[in-house]
């Protein structure tokens, strides 16, 4: 808070009438009889007041008024120039950041040189960097001398862009200055719930006061119910002998693959139920500190001892020792965190899934179970099951009409056991060998447990259409699918039966290679003075509408016959699925179509199912790239109206052929959800006439940007939002 002309001094007391605050002023403490020139030097000794300077005149500096039970300290962990910090409240960090005039572009240094606004933005961004890895609540307040209410102000836009890029928001919505602009700001994280009831109180000075409520209550203890097995305390020798005894009874040579897999699952599950039965208990959720070391623990103990000693003696020497040790603890924690997370990232080399898990932990992203509201999990599971089944059935029925008219309780996975005995490994190896010689798949692989997952975070969570069904397979089912997948992939590679521009689920055909190829093509054409038209096709429930008869015919046409074809026929036949919502499981529905999403074989079979798409696009002399069910088609031409119109007609004819072919194989193209964008330099795009594209009954107008495989492509090919 800034103290200005509204501050009054009467009878040795400092009065701030607007707040009802009255402070005793010792004799001789006031440096001037003029209220607006009062020095606040004496107030540094006042228990309820902390300030950013030992001595400052009115209208210069920031004051923090707080109740007695809020301990204010000046930590030494922040080394950003021109910043002072006051902290801390138990479990909540209360921080005051203040510049001594140097931040404002309107303040002149002693040498008479103005500090550029870019320096403020640079240091402010550095300050926000320190909060990125900090999970605690953050509240930034003060006079920023930026007119954030004026959207035409360049400085304001730069400032607000920085806040947005760091996931922060500004809460003051009224003018805070005598002349009407909003200069005094209150900034928190986007997800913060600490601040409420923000309002502006007129008076006090030329800057009005900003008032809000801070929820500083001690957070309630969070608990959750978990079901676990005491695997660590389980007798491993009994487990080894039990596995040997149970699995030795399975005669793999004389049994079918289905019965072998089921007996394997049943044997291990029964053994675990006996030696490590499931237990349900309530646990307290505690914050994890995996970077904590013995050295940090010892340093914190020493810090507490020095703090108690200083509070007892109040000597300057003990205070200095405590402050020094506090700095040591902060430095050790920062060092340990850096080393720990650096090692975590290094260990993720070659494993993108694990790397994203580490990044989510660093950015404090919590994976929440997002589901629509329902009176019970059982009802929700049944509703999801009916929706997924009926949606695909309707798509197939609609296509049939057009063609005719001429237009969660899962088996325990053995990977959860801390030790997999040699005998169990041998049994799995034997099952692998039998898989290669068996004409049928396991019946357990035909039963799918599905979990609904939200497609995108910004979709309506109450709409079932916002979710996709993802299969949750048992450990052994994944092992068997990987065996078959490896053999199938080897056959496809040896006979050159795949589209070179079909990425996903293949070696050396990743998201990165797909994006690099398309982007390189576009930039090459831009260098030649051409523009590129790009259409992104959208399919509805692509995996769920795959027709088994057509897929098996395609496999046979590619040369997959005999026992291999019989095994795949068995894998696709008599399929059923249930939907799992938490612990509730829906009724079983039988499927005559679909390949499971989330499985190993499903996506690979889908690539084979859509293989003829390459030939259709090639006939029209267009470029394309596919990633699973995401298909993009593009062309390049000179930016003249005649050239663009000719290529638009060609791509419309191509998409018309694609739509007709997709109807024949029961795939549905969402005309209105497909996107079209023209790409090129600003000069090239200015020369071309903005076209539109007809897809079925929809007319698609070019957009300014499209999202493809997680990357935003702007029409002028800038990458600003990705940097």
Q: Which residue has 């419309």 as its token pair?
A: 652
CA dihedral 427, 429, 435, 441 (to 10 degrees): 50
Average pLDDT (386-392) is: 85
- pLDDT bin (cut points 50, 70, 90) of residue 218 is low
- pLDDT bin (cut points 50, 70, 90) of residue 2 is very low
pLDDT at 437: 63
Mean residue pLDDT across the chain: 75
Closest-CA residue to 300 (of 252, 270, 332): 332
Q: What separation in angstroms does the CA of 509 have from each of 159, 448, 499, 598, 606?
A: 41, 28, 11, 18, 16
Instruction: Say how far apart CA 624 and CA 602 lie, in whole Å.
Output: 23
Average pLDDT (115-127) is: 74
Question: How many Cβ atoms sit within 10 Å of the Cβ of residue 241?
Answer: 14
Please, what's the b/e burial string for 464-501 (b: 16 or more CB within 10 A of its CB; e: otherwise)?
A: eebbbbbbebbbbbbbbbebbbeebeeebeeeeebbeb
The token pair at 156 is 């304001």
- pLDDT bin (cut points 50, 70, 90) of residue 13 is very low
232 has a pLDDT exceeding 70: yes
Average pLDDT (452-477) is: 83
pLDDT at 98: 35
Structure confidence by residue, pLDDT tens digits, 286-329: 666 788 888 898 998 899 899 888 888 888 898 899 889 988 99
The token pair at 42 is 């004496």
Structure confidence by residue, pLDDT tens digits, 591-610: 888 888 878 888 889 988 98
- pLDDT bin (cut points 50, 70, 90) of residue 503 is confident
Burial of 33 (0-12, 13-18, 19+ CB in 10 A): exposed
Do 185 and 172 form a contact (C-beta atoms < 8 A)? yes
538 has a pLDDT exceeding 80: yes
Structure confidence by residue, pLDDT tens digits, 136-173: 778 888 777 788 888 788 888 888 888 888 888 888 88
CATH, domain range 66-214:
3.60.10.10
Instruction: Say how far apart CA 498 and CA 330 lie, in whole Å.
Output: 56
Domain with CATH 3.60.10.10 in the chain: 66-214
5 has a pLDDT exceeding 70: no
- Does 560 or 59 have the greater pLDDT score? 560
Residue 523 phi, psi dihedral angles, 5° rounding: -65, -35
Q: What does the chain come to in residues?
A: 723
State the pairing for strand pair 502-503/623-627. parallel
246 has a pLDDT exceeding 60: yes
pLDDT at 250: 59
Check: pTM over 0.85? Answer yes or no: no
Write the secondary structure of 381-426 as one string of H (helix), E (strand) and C (coil): HHHHHHHHHHHHHHHHHHHHHHHHCCCCCCCCCHHHCCCCCHHHHH
Preceding amide of 88 cis, omega within 30: yes
The token pair at 136 is 């605690």
Give percent of the chain above pLDDT 90: 4
Do 703 and 690 form a contact (C-beta atoms < 8 A)? no
Structure confidence by residue, pLDDT tens digits, 643-700: 888 888 899 999 999 988 988 888 888 887 888 888 888 888 888 777 788 887 788 8
pLDDT at 563: 84
Q: Which of 132-146, 169-183, 263-277, 562-576 has the lowest mean pLDDT?
A: 132-146
pLDDT at 617: 92
Structure confidence by residue, pLDDT tens digits, 75-108: 444 444 433 333 333 333 333 333 333 334 343 3
Residue 322 phi, psi dihedral angles, 5° rounding: -65, -45
Which contacts qualify for 336-339: CB closer than 8 Å, 24 or more apart?
Answer: 336/291, 336/292, 336/293, 336/295, 336/296, 337/133, 337/291, 339/291
Q: What separation in angstroms does the CA of 379 have from each of 368, 470, 590?
A: 20, 19, 19
Q: How far is CA 220 from the centre of its chain?
A: 26
61 has a pLDDT exceeding 80: no
555 has a pLDDT exceeding 50: yes
Closest-CA residue to 213 (of 184, 235, 188): 188
């Amino acid at each position: 808070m800034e103290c200005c002309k509204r501050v009054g001094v009467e009878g040795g007391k400092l009065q701030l009438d607007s707040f009802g605050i009255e402070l005793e002023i010792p004799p001789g403490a006031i440096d001037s009889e003029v209220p607006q020139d009062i020095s606040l030097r004496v107030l540094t000794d006042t228990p309820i007041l902390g300030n950013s300077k030992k001595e400052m005149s009115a209208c210069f500096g920031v004051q923090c008024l707080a109740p007695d039970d809020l301990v204010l300290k000046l930590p030494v962990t922040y080394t950003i120039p021109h910043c002072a910090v006051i902290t801390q409240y138990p479990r909540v960090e209360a921080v005051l950041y203040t510049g001594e005039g140097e931040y404002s572009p309107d303040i002149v240094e002693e040498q008479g040189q103005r500090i550029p606004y870019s320096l403020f933005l640079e240091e402010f961004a550095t300050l926000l960097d320190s909060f990125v890895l900090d999970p605690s609540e953050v509240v930034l307040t003060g006079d920023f001398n930026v007119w954030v209410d004026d959207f035409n102000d360049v400085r304001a836009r730069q400032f607000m862009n920085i806040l947005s890029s760091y996931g922060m928001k500004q809460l003051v919505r009224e003018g805070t200055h005598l002349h009407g602009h909003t200069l005094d700001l209150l900034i928190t994280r986007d997800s913060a719930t600490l601040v409420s009831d923000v309002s502006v109180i007129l008076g006090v000075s030329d800057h009005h006061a900003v008032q809000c409520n801070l929820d500083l209550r001690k957070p309630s203890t969070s608990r959750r119910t978990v079901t676990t097995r005491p695997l660590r305390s389980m007798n491993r020798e009994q487990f080894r002998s039990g596995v040997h005894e149970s699995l030795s009874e399975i005669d793999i040579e004389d049994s079918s693959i289905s019965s072998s897999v089921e007996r394997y699952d049943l044997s291990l599950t029964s053994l675990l139920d006996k030696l490590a039965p499931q237990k349900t208990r309530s646990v307290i959720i505690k914050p994890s500190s995996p970077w904590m070391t013995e050295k940090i623990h010892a340093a914190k103990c020493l810090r507490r001892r020095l703090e108690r000693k200083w509070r007892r003696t109040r000597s300057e020497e003990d205070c200095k020792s405590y402050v020094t040790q506090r700095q040591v603890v902060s430095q050790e924690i920062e060092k340990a965190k850096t080393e720990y997370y650096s090692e975590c990232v290094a260990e993720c080399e070659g494993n993108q899934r694990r790397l994203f898990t580490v990044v989510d932990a660093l950015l404090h992203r919590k994976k929440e179970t997002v589901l629509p509201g329902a009176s019970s999990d059982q009802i929700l599971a049944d509703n999801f099951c009916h929706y997924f089944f009926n949606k695909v059935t309707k798509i197939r029925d609609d296509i049939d009409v057009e063609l005719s008219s001429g237009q969660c309780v899962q088996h325990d996975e053995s990977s959860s056991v801390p030790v997999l005995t040699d005998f169990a490994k041998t049994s799995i190896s034997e099952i692998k060998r039998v898989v290669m010689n068996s004409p049928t798949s396991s019946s357990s692989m035909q039963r799918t447990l599905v979990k609904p997952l939200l497609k995108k975070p910004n979709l309506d969570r109450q709409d079932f259409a916002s979710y996709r069904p993802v299969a949750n397979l048992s450990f052994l089912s994944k092992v068997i699918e990987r065996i078959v997948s490896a053999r199938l992939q080897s056959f496809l590679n040896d006979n050159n039966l795949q589209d070179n521009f079909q990425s996903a689920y293949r070696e050396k055909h990743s998201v990165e290679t797909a994006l690099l190829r398309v982007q390189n093509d576009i930039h090459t054409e831009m260098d030649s003075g051409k523009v590129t038209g790009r259409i992104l096709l959208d399919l509805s429930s692509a995996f769920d509408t795959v027709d088994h008869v057509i897929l098996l015919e395609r496999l046979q046409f590619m040369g997959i016959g005999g026992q291999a074809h019989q095994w795949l026929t068995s894998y696709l036949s008599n399929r059923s699925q249930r939907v799992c919502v938490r612990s509730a499981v829906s009724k079983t529905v039988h499927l005559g179509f679909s390949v499971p999403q989330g499985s190993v074989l499903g996506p690979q079979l889908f690539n084979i199912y859509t293989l003829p798409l390459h030939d259709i696009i090639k006939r029209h002399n267009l470029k394309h790239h596919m990633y699973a069910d995401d298909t993009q088609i593009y062309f390049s031409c000179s930016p003249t109206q005649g050239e663009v119109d000719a290529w638009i007609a060609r791509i419309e004819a191509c998409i018309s052929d694609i739509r007709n072919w997709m109807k024949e194989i029961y795939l549905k193209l969402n005309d209105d959800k497909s996107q079209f964008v023209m790409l090129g330099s600003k000069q090239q795009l200015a020369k071309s006439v903005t076209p539109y594209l007809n897809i079925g009954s929809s007319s698609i107008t070019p957009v300014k940007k499209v999202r493809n495989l997680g990357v935003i492509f702007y029409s002028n090919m800038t990458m600003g939002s990705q940097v």
